[in-house]
Structure 1
Amino acid sequence: MTPVLDDAFICDSVPAEFMDRLWAAGWRHFGRYFFRYSTQPGEHGDEQTITPLRIDLSACVFTKSQRRVLRKNTDLRWEVIPALLDDDMRAMFQRHKQRFTHNIPDALENFLGEDPASGPCECRMMRVFEGERLLAASFFDVGQQAASSIYGIFDPAEHKRSLGIFTLLLEIQHCREAGLRWLYPGYATHEPSAYDYKKQFRGTEMLDWSTGDWRPLLP
């Protein structure tokens, strides 16, 4: 039987090796607020079971559709820099959040804190441009052997480019090149939900809350 978890704490600074341990135990964080929970209310009032995921970067081979997303965006350029929040990023977030009808977030700071570069751990940002125009960005934390995706945004006018998937693919490539072992793409749910795209990566494992063990998600 899956235990019911609803844990949280506040912390200003966490060393890289301890971030690895927290992620492996199902913890996530938004700014200084660390949390883990095993259930949440669904969009239609039903209860959903939270499923923490991680990608074994050594076992992650991109699918045909994922390779198609990469090819579709070869005209774009991207960079990885320390995370920052500026007016362009906030304006894109306001456009991005119009896509949602449920659990609509207020601001990027809800996920990243006021100054993500100041901690509680190292936070990087993937920025994607068409020429000089910012099309998408994603934020991810880096530990000693693992990284954890926090949030991604993109210009809804460019939805045909599948930029949410594209930035996650770029994160996987970046983390693999950096010699990391795992990438935690965040929570999904056992039941069908808007987070199902996170389950489509080969090498994905899920955390069994009842035992604390990770096991393959896909055959």
Structure 2
Amino acid sequence: MRSERVRLFQTLPHACGYYAERTAQNLVIDPAAPQLDRLYGPALERGFRRAGGHLYLPHCPQCRACTPCRIDVEHFAPDRSQRRCLRRNADLEVRECIAGYNAERHALYERYLRTRHPGGGMDEADASDFRRFLTAPWSPTIFLEFRRGARLLGVAVTDVCLTGLSAVYTFYDPDETARSLGTFAILQQVALARRRAIPWLYLGFWIEGHPKMDYKRRFRPLQIRTTDSWKTMSDITD
């Protein structure tokens, strides 16, 4: 991705999605650029993230809490808790599916948002919201479905680039919290990356100490992006 060929825009300040008392700004790659599909892999390498049809990177003047992170797929080994998660979900079937809207997925998505993010502005998502947030015409997206028999328990929205998978979003049955389906989704995405010989699984942003974001440090070896390079977290934080 050559900066002289790609326009970057900076958003206006808006409410931070992680800290209520802060404002946030993002850098966004020109959403009208005709080559977004080709830019996506290099953009992941530089710490960008996809939300709907936008590739963005937090760029807040007073805060650098959002740190891009990725799992080293080849060297990843599940810890004891993650192995228990795999055993707990051994009764599930994992399907690689074409991404897109259907009524079954949408019903699960609505239930998840209403339970996990009430009042957050996303909890009344209609069909167009589902499509707009989770997919884009140019994105190489698949849905990993987790089923127990015919029953859909979870969906891991996963973008597949040549040099990295991106864990875009996961939603699951809020009555099945004991299964730790969020952790299970990441473990299945690691397995998918290994099957396809893809070296990295991008997890979006790690925020140290944040109750909803700090869990990512458990997937080791985890790399985090500093100003201009990726470094293994243990080399920085241990």
Structure 1 residues 147, 115: closer, same or farther in 2, change over 3 A? Answer: closer
1:125-159 alpha-carbon deviations (Å, 9 max, x no partner): 10011110000111011111111011000101111
1:207: how far off? 0.8
Structure 1 residues 21, 48: closer, same or farther in 2, change over 3 A? Answer: closer
2:27 equivalent in structure 1? 7
1:82-123 alpha-carbon deviations (Å, 9 max, x no partner): 21111111111111112225745243865752783x632210
Structure 1 residues 146, 79: closer, same or farther in 2, change over 3 A? Answer: same
Query: Is residue 2:117 matched to residue 1:95?
Result: no
Query: Is residue 2:71 matched to residue 1:55?
Result: yes
User: Normalized per residue, which structure has more strand?
Assistant: 1
- Residues 49, 56 of structure 2: 8 Å contact kept: yes
1:206: how far off? 0.5
1:187: how far off? 1.3
Structure 1 residues 169, 39: closer, same or farther in 2, change over 3 A? Answer: farther
Query: How many angstroms apart in 2 are the aligned matches of 1:115 and 1:64?
Result: 31
Q: Aligned-pair RMSD on alpha carbons?
A: 2.5
Structure 1 residues 15, 34: closer, same or farther in 2, change over 3 A? Answer: closer
Letter of the 1:26 counterpart = G
Query: How many angstroms apart in 1 are the aligned matches of 2:215 and 2:92?
Result: 22
Give the stretch that moved more between structures: 90-99 or 150-159: 90-99
Structure 1 residues 132, 174: closer, same or farther in 2, change over 3 A? Answer: same
Query: How many angstroms apart in 2 are the aligned matches of 1:195 and 1:104?
Result: 19
Could you tell me which of 21, 25, 47 is aligned with 2:46? 25
Q: Secondary structure at the match of 1:144?
A: coil
Could you tell me which of 91, 94, 102 is aligned with 1:78? 94
What TM-score do the two structures reach when normalised by structure 2?
0.78
Letter of the 2:26 counterpart = D
Q: Secondary structure at the match of 1:10?
A: coil
Query: How many angstroms apart in 1 are the aligned matches of 2:163 and 2:97?
Result: 19
1:36 equivalent in structure 2? 57
Q: Secondary structure at the match of 2:66?
A: strand
Query: How many angstroms apart in 1 are the aligned matches of 2:59 and 2:78?
Result: 29
Gaps of 5+ in 2: 1-23
1:67-89 alpha-carbon deviations (Å, 9 max, x no partner): 11000011111111121111111
Query: How many angstroms apart in 1 are the aligned matches of 2:82 and 2:169?
Result: 19
- Residues 27, 59 of structure 2: 8 Å contact kept: no
Give the stretch that moved more between structures: 95-104 or 179-188: 95-104
Larger Rg: 2
Identity of aligned residues (%): 26
Gaps of 5+ in 1: 42-46
Structure 1 residues 56, 114: closer, same or farther in 2, change over 3 A? Answer: closer
What TM-score do the two structures reach when normalised by structure 1?
0.84
Structure with the bigger RCO (C-alpha within 8 Å, sep 6+) is: 1
Q: Secondary structure at the match of 2:36?
A: coil
1:140 equivalent in structure 2? 158
1:29: how far off? 1.6
**How many corresponding residue pairs?**
207
Letter of the 2:229 counterpart = D
- Residues 31, 120 of structure 1: 8 Å contact kept: no
